[in-house]
Amino acid sequence: MSEHTTLRLGSTAPDFEADTSNGPISFHEFIGDNWVVLFSHPDDFTPVCTTELGAFAKLEPEFTKRGVKLIGLSANGTESHKAWIKDIDEVTGSKLSFPIIADPERKVALKYDMIDYQDASNVDDKGVQFTIRSVFVIDPKKKIRLILAYPASTGRNTAEVLRVVDSLQTGDKYRVTTPINWVPGDDVIVHPTVSNEEAKTLFPKFRIIKPYLRLTPLEVGEQK
């Protein structure tokens, strides 16, 4: 379990073929022209993971609206995933329909460096490390735009994953960045590469707090 790739923001998401709860996939084909949120789980039939998958399934319509496909991964086989999905739906009231990758040999987990090296207690009954709670946001060019890693003991925050998607898509569309705790509708920051002269045209309502901090509301139809 020592071979792994160092992935950074901007790296191309590694391609792979795998079986999933919805049938076999080739990952780059699965991405197609979409955004993708790929997230891993330590193990099937575990409590925190069950709550997380139910929550992602319930929020899936919001991801779909933004052109984002969800795909989970857990280091177990397809039959186990299918049985677990029934439990997830029963427990959380979800209707989970996105694929969960079967990765019993941790092949995908190794490619994406989703293995836990620090927490020696996070191992299966053979002493093999479980996958951690990784999240990768991948854009339609197949570039990795966000990497999160949570410990097995801490459930993630689906709203935060959606918020980052909103920030990335907003930043790709307009020449802006987003401040701390930003959510859509809040003021954004005029990108440092935009001069004040350009900003007057692009963002007529922008205001200068400091020369390096210029805020603006973002209105629908605002120019790029």
Instruction: Mark out the alpha helices in the chain (DSSP H runs).
Output: 27-31, 47-65, 78-92, 107-111, 158-173, 196-202
Single out the residue of 132, 127, 125, 68 nearest to residue 103, CA to CA.
132
Residues binding ligand BEZ (CB under 6 A): 42-43, 46-49, 122, 130, 152-153
DSSP structure class, residue 110: H
Strands 133-138 and 35-41, by their bridges, are antiparallel
Active-site annotation holds for 217: no
Of residues 6 and 154, the one with the C-beta less far from ligand BEZ? 154
Are the CB atoms for 69 and 22 separated by under 8 Å?
no
Which is closer to ligand BEZ, CB of 78 or CB of 131? 131
In the chain, what is the straight-line distance between the N-terminal and C-terminal CA atoms, in Å?
Answer: 46
CA dihedral 149→155→158→163, nearest 10 degrees, is: -50
Catalytic residue among 31, 49, 114, 137: 49
Q: How far is the CB of 46 from ligand BEZ (least distance, A)?
A: 3
Of 124 and 198, CB closest to ligand BEZ: 124
The least CB distance from residue 88 to ligand BEZ, in Å, is: 12
Closest by alpha carbon to 134, among 152, 121, 118, 119? 152
> To the nearest whole angstrom, how small is the minimum distance from the Cβ of residue 42 to ligand BEZ?
4
CB of 118 to ligand BEZ, least distance (A): 13
Between 133 and 145, whose beta carbon lies closer to ligand BEZ? Answer: 133
Instruction: Point out the residues that are catalytic.
Output: 49
